Protein backbone atom coordinates (compact mmCIF):
# COMPACT_ATOMS: atom_id res chain seq x y z
CA UNK A 1 0.00 0.00 0.00
CA UNK A 2 2.80 2.35 0.87
CA UNK A 3 4.20 2.24 -2.65
CA UNK A 4 0.86 3.37 -4.04
CA UNK A 5 0.78 6.23 -1.54
CA UNK A 6 4.36 7.17 -2.39
CA UNK A 7 3.49 7.30 -6.09
CA UNK A 8 0.47 9.52 -5.42
CA UNK A 9 2.51 11.87 -3.26
CA UNK A 10 5.25 12.01 -5.89
CA UNK A 11 3.05 12.62 -8.93
CA UNK A 12 0.09 14.93 -9.42
CA UNK A 13 -1.13 12.44 -12.03
CA UNK A 14 -1.59 9.63 -9.52
CA UNK A 15 -4.21 9.10 -6.84
CA UNK A 16 -4.08 6.19 -4.40
CA UNK A 17 -6.79 4.78 -2.18
CA UNK A 18 -6.54 1.87 0.20
CA UNK A 19 -9.86 0.06 0.47
CA UNK A 20 -10.50 -2.16 3.45
CA UNK A 21 -11.87 -5.21 1.66
CA UNK A 22 -13.92 -6.62 4.54
CA UNK A 23 -15.80 -3.37 5.06
CA UNK A 24 -16.80 -3.03 1.43
CA UNK A 25 -17.64 -6.60 0.43
CA UNK A 26 -19.74 -5.72 -2.62
CA UNK A 27 -16.97 -3.67 -4.19
CA UNK A 28 -14.44 -6.35 -3.26
CA UNK A 29 -16.58 -8.95 -4.96
CA UNK A 30 -16.93 -6.81 -8.06
CA UNK A 31 -13.14 -6.49 -8.20
CA UNK A 32 -12.68 -10.22 -7.62
CA UNK A 33 -10.62 -9.72 -4.48
CA UNK A 34 -9.47 -13.16 -3.31
CA UNK A 35 -6.03 -12.20 -2.06
CA UNK A 36 -4.56 -8.96 -0.80
CA UNK A 37 -3.10 -6.60 -1.56
CA UNK A 38 -5.03 -6.46 -4.84
CA UNK A 39 -3.93 -3.59 -7.02
CA UNK A 40 -6.61 -2.10 -9.26
CA UNK A 41 -5.42 0.41 -11.83
CA UNK A 42 -8.05 2.62 -13.43
CA UNK A 43 -10.67 0.05 -12.45
CA UNK A 44 -8.74 -2.93 -13.86
CA UNK A 45 -7.20 -5.52 -11.49
CA UNK A 46 -3.44 -5.95 -11.99
CA UNK A 47 -2.47 -9.10 -10.11
CA UNK A 48 -2.14 -9.53 -6.38
CA UNK A 49 0.56 -9.49 -3.78
CA UNK A 50 3.21 -7.23 -2.37
CA UNK A 51 6.06 -6.59 -4.81
CA UNK A 52 9.31 -4.59 -4.85
CA UNK A 53 9.23 -0.97 -5.98
CA UNK A 54 10.51 -1.52 -9.53
CA UNK A 55 7.98 -4.29 -10.17
CA UNK A 56 5.18 -2.18 -8.67
CA UNK A 57 5.99 0.65 -11.06
CA UNK A 58 6.09 -1.78 -13.99
CA UNK A 59 2.65 -3.07 -13.06
CA UNK A 60 0.91 0.24 -12.59
CA UNK A 61 2.52 1.83 -15.62
CA UNK A 62 2.19 -1.38 -17.66
CA UNK A 63 5.87 -1.25 -18.56
CA UNK A 64 7.53 -4.33 -20.12
CA UNK A 65 9.32 -6.59 -17.63
Partner 1 sequence: MALLRAEEETKVRGWFAELERPVELLVAVGPEETPLAGAQDIDFGAEMERVCEGLAELGENVAYRVEQEPDGFPRFPAVSIRPEGRDVGVRYDGLPWGYELSSLIGAILEAGRDTPSLRAESLAALETLDRDLTLDVFVTPT
Report the phi/psi class of residue 30: left, alpha or beta, with left for phi > 0 and alpha for psi in -120 to 50. Answer: alpha
Give me the residues paired with residue 48 across strands: 38
Residue ranges in 4-43 that form contacts with partner 1 under rule CB under 8 A: 4-24, 27-28, 31, 33, 36-43
- For position 54 contacting partner 1 by CB under 8 A, the verdict is yes
Q: How far is the CB of 48 from partner 1 (least distance, A)?
A: 9
Q: Is the Cβ–Cβ distance between 42 and 4 less than 8 Å? A: no
- Contact residue for partner 1 among 47, 51, 63, 64 (CB under 8 A): 63
Element (H, E) at 49: none
Task: Look at the chain and count its residues.
Answer: 65
What residue ranges bind partner 1 (CB under 8 A)?
A: 1-2, 4-24, 27-28, 31, 33, 36-43, 53-54, 57, 60-61, 63
Amino acid sequence: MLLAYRCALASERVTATAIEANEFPQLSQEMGVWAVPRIVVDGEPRRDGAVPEAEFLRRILALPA
